[in-house]
Chain A
Amino acid sequence: MNTEKQENSIIEISKNFLVGLKTTIKTFFRKPVTFQYPKERLTIAERFRAFPHLNVNGDGSLRCVACFLCQTVCPSEAIKIKSGYVDYGFEHELTERQKHNRSLDKIKAGTFNDGRRHPSSFEIDLLRCICCGYCEEICPEEAISLGSDYEVAFYTRDEGIYGIEKLIKSR
């Protein structure tokens, strides 16, 4: 860096003044970089990471098997999972021990039975979530992935905690 004191001649000063004017007139004729947000939107990049959402199978059943990996890896402890029923499927031959498992009784009638364990509640606190993508990375079932919905707003902190239905619905 040149630390010498600049020459303060009038010619030098007025030259600098003109440089300033030139810079502003140049930007004046350039296209504005802003966009009218609610009317126009930026195109989101493919790898954009917004808030996580839960994926479902083609038939609408949850992919999540309540393995707790995402809850373990989550650096901001935003994910809270409660393991729910374990259902063993119709064609599975139950062991003695499994026959005594009464957890299936709690399931509402008509719930799809795919022979897997599922969470009874799966909550993500969006106010804690830092959208790091660790949960998506670690999930063995591809059940959780980060979507593109960055426009999330709520009136109270409790509304920021998304349950299973909301997580499935969000993009």
Chain B
Amino acid sequence: MMFWLIADIIKILIVFAGLLGAAAYLTLLERKIAARIQNRMGPMEAGFHGLLQPIADGIKLFFKEDIIPAGANKFLFLLAPIIVVIPALTTFAVIPFGAPVKIMGHTVPLQITDVNIGILFILALTSLGVYGVVLGGWASNSKYSLLGGIRTAAQMISYEVALVLSIVGIIMIAGDLSLAKIVSEQSHMWFIVYQPVGFIIYLIASTAEMNRVPFDLGEAEGEIVAGFHTEYSSMEFAFYFIGEYAQMVVNSAIIVTLFLGGWQGPFLPSVLWFLIKVFFVILIYLWLRWTYPRLRYDELMDLGWKFLLPLALANIIVTGFIMILLNR
């Protein structure tokens, strides 16, 4: 009993620290990639090739003045960034990040908890993130924040549908909602081979879900200053950023788990395989961000409802049809 408690706490601490560190260093990675794509060098001054830049940014944000605008709903204003961060970090609880290891005669699964409805848990938590954005937009008492919040809410709800439907094909093939089972089902063949369309829909919809370019309508800096986090400063602003980047890590981890065989891979240790795959999916997200311009709002809705949703539905029907034909 005591062993499991300690093992769980250690796992939680590792995941928590890993996620926060990854979120911090993703800012650097993002800036570096952006710089290279635009033929620049990116941060070079703080540390070797800017390696200490995230720490410098963190310290700077920590000592910035904490501004709460007049007329803002103080409680909700402070609550909103927390609501963004917590679900993003919590989602990782059900993601298996390595093969089970043997410690002192016990087989410890490298997953904080194996919920048998893992996918539902993930979907429920990721959609909670929208509350943080909407509350932040509303509580700021600013027209730009409100516009950003409303836009983001509509966008997230629209893309949630396609996101969920794109996973259904995976669930049909794996026959289970537990993520550990889904990973072990992929020991012969990654699900991206069976579900390429589902993968693409999930990639696009999750980009929209994270409010990233080309779907960053909610914080479109050319139109509505910074959208829902216009009025935020200091650590609250940092929380929004941590939330956004942690969500990116988590989404990449979900993609790896569902489509790219999770931690499975030859030769290298399983945790390393997991990290490598997550890193490459993150690179894809960054690549997309620095390639495409922002969509117009009606284009965004068109893409969500008129293209991704029918495509996801068709994907489910075709998957089911083929499964019946192959008699699985």
- Check if A24 is an interface residue, CB within 8 A of chain B: yes
- CB neighbors of A among B239-297 (8 A): 287-288, 290-292
Q: Digit string of B38-65 for contact with A (CB within 8 Å is 1, else 0)?
A: 1111001000000000000000000000
Q: Are A32 and B41 in contact (CB under 8 A)?
A: yes
Q: Are B44 and A30 in contact (CB under 8 A)?
A: no
Q: Are A28 and B37 in contact (CB under 8 A)?
A: yes
- Check if B36 is an interface residue, CB within 8 A of chain A: yes
- How many interface residues does B have (CB within 8 Å)? 14
- Check if B35 is an interface residue, CB within 8 A of chain A: yes
Q: Of A21, A30, A32, A36, which is within 8 A of B291 by CB?
A: A21
Q: Is the interface of A mostly helix, strand, loop or mixed?
A: helix
Given A20-B292, A27-B36, also A34-B41 (CB < 8 A)? yes
- Check if A42 is an interface residue, CB within 8 A of chain B: no
Task: Report A-chain residues with C-beta under 8 Å of the C-beta of B36.
Answer: 27-28, 32
A163 to chain B, nearest CB (A): 37
- Check if B33 is an interface residue, CB within 8 A of chain A: yes
Separation of A57 and B35 alpha carbons in the complex (Å): 50
B42 to chain A, nearest CB (A): 9
Q: Are B39 and A34 in contact (CB under 8 A)?
A: yes
A31 to chain B, nearest CB (A): 8
Q: Are A32 and B39 in contact (CB under 8 A)?
A: yes
Residue of A nearest to B200 (CB): A14
Given A20-B292, A36-B44, also A27-B39 (CB < 8 A)? yes
Separation of A27 and B36 alpha carbons in the complex (Å): 7
Q: Are B41 and A24 in contact (CB under 8 A)?
A: no
Task: Report B-chain residues with C-beta under 8 Å of the C-beta of A32.
Answer: 35-36, 39-41
Residue of A nearest to B292 (CB): A20
A20 to chain B, nearest CB (A): 5
Task: Report B-chain residues with C-beta under 8 Å of the C-beta of A30.
Answer: 39
- Check if A109 is an interface residue, CB within 8 A of chain B: no
- Check if A11 is an interface residue, CB within 8 A of chain B: no
Separation of A27 and B34 alpha carbons in the complex (Å): 11
Q: Digit string of A28-51 for contact with B (CB within 8 Å is 1, else 0)?
A: 101011101000000000000000
Residue of A nearest to B38 (CB): A27
Task: Report A-chain residues with C-beta under 8 Å of the C-beta of B39.
Answer: 27, 30, 32-34
Separation of A34 and B36 alpha carbons in the complex (Å): 10
- Check if A25 is an interface residue, CB within 8 A of chain B: yes
Given A20-B292, A21-B287, A21-B291, also A28-B33 (CB < 8 A)? yes
Q: Of B40, B44, B287, which is within 8 A of A24 by CB?
A: B287
B292 to chain A, nearest CB (A): 6
Q: Are B37 and A24 in contact (CB under 8 A)?
A: yes
Q: Digit string of A1-39 for contact with B (CB within 8 Å is 1, else 0)?
A: 000000000000000010011011101101011101000
Task: Report B-chain residues with C-beta under 8 Å of the C-beta of A21.
Answer: 287-288, 291
A83 to chain B, nearest CB (A): 51
Task: Report B-chain residues with C-beta under 8 Å of the C-beta of A20.
Answer: 291-292
Separation of A73 and B40 alpha carbons in the complex (Å): 42
Separation of A146 and B248 alpha carbons in the complex (Å): 55
Separation of A28 and B290 alpha carbons in the complex (Å): 11
Which residues of A are interface residues toward B (Cβ below 8 A)? Answer: 17, 20-21, 23-25, 27-28, 30, 32-34, 36
Q: Please list the 4 inter-chain residue pairs (A to B) with the smallest Cβ-Cβ separation, ordered nearest first.
A: A24-B291, A20-B291, A32-B41, A24-B37
Q: List 5 A-B contacts (CB under 8 A).
A: A24-B287, A24-B291, A27-B38, A28-B287, A30-B39
